[in-house]
Amino acid sequence: MSRSVISNQNIFEYAVSHSTPPDDVLQELIDETRESTGGAAGMQIGADQGAFMTILSGSLRPRFAVEVGTFTGYSSICIARGLAPEGKLLCCDVSEEWTDIAQRYWSKSNLSDKIDLVLAPGVQTLKSLPSEETIDLAFIDADKGGYISYYEEIVPRLSPQGILLVDNTLWSGRVIPDSGSEDEDTLALRAFNDHVVNDPRVAAAQLTVGDGLTVITKV
């Protein structure tokens, strides 16, 4: 299943084949997610995006990272593998069923002691965090209608060199105004993209990795 906005399948497959592939644990997680979640498996990030996130996290060596929307845990493993030795990843999700799978694979990856899971609405969890600029890396991949709210809680808490990654911001091309798509998620993502590009607090680059991955830093 392609999770890329790239329309040329040959280019997509070439890019994936020249990115570091998932290791045995991640491949097992891909397979179990496909078997256990059915149509929802498309919410899992692709292996190429996972490789990018692992490299980015390993370069930043975050002491505190936050993920909003964990699903079965693929992206959280990619982030947690790059944490500083004393680093922690806070995962925000509302599904006990899906995060039960995530927790098993955190254990298989020897990362359980680095990840804290909170099952509650993401905005509620983010609001409970200290207001200081302590987040070194954040990833938003949850309900699209909540993106601006998550963003507004995370940006003030980003450290000076911190990076925020936001998934699905190209939405298979449906975010383009003349695409003909007017469903709630598409409208929410258009609003989010406009919100970011017009925010003087940040610099942003929208990448064609996966289904669109926006990279955001404070200026």
Q: Is the pLDDT of residue 4 over 80?
A: no
DSSP codes, 139-152 = EE-S-GGGHHHHHH
pLDDT, tens digit, 9 for 90 and up, residues 166-206: 999 999 999 999 888 899 999 999 999 999 999 999 999 99
pTM, to two decimals: 0.95
**Per-residue pLDDT, 6:** 64
Distance of alpha carbon 71 from alpha carbon 73, whole angstroms: 6
Question: β-strand 213-218 against 158-167: which pairing, if any?
Answer: antiparallel
Question: Is 123 within 8 Å of 146 (Cβ atoms)?
Answer: yes
The residues spanned by each domain of the chain are 9-218
**Per-residue pLDDT, 2:** 56
- The DSSP 8-state label assigned to residue 211 in this structure reads T
| Token output for 60 | 């930043």
CATH number of 9-218: 3.40.50.150
Distance of alpha carbon 109 from alpha carbon 82, whole angstroms: 13
Q: Give the CB-side neighbour count of residue 98, counting CA atoms within 13 A.
A: 23
**Per-residue pLDDT, 8:** 78
- Residue holding tokens 């570091």? 20
pLDDT, tens digit, 9 for 90 and up, residues 50-94: 999 999 999 999 999 999 999 999 999 999 999 999 999 999 999
Which is higher by pLDDT, 215 or 11? Answer: 215
**Per-residue pLDDT, 144:** 98
pLDDT, tens digit, 9 for 90 and up, residues 95-118: 999 999 999 999 999 999 999 999
**In Å, how far are 1, 6, 19, 71 from 13, measured between CA atoms?**
11, 10, 10, 25
List b or e across 24-45, with b for residues whose CB sees 16 or more CB atoms inside 10 angstroms: eebeebbeebeeebeeebebbb
Return the axis-axis angle of helices 24-37 and 96-108, rounded to nearest 10°: 160
**Per-residue pLDDT, 116:** 98
Q: Is the pLDDT of residue 7 over 80?
A: no
Overall average pLDDT of the 129-137 stretch? 97
Rg of the chain over Cα atoms, rounded to whole angstroms, equals 16
Q: Is the pLDDT of residue 133 over 90?
A: yes
Q: Is the pLDDT of residue 1 over 70?
A: no
Helical residues (DSSP H) of 24-65, grouped into ranges: 24-37, 47-60
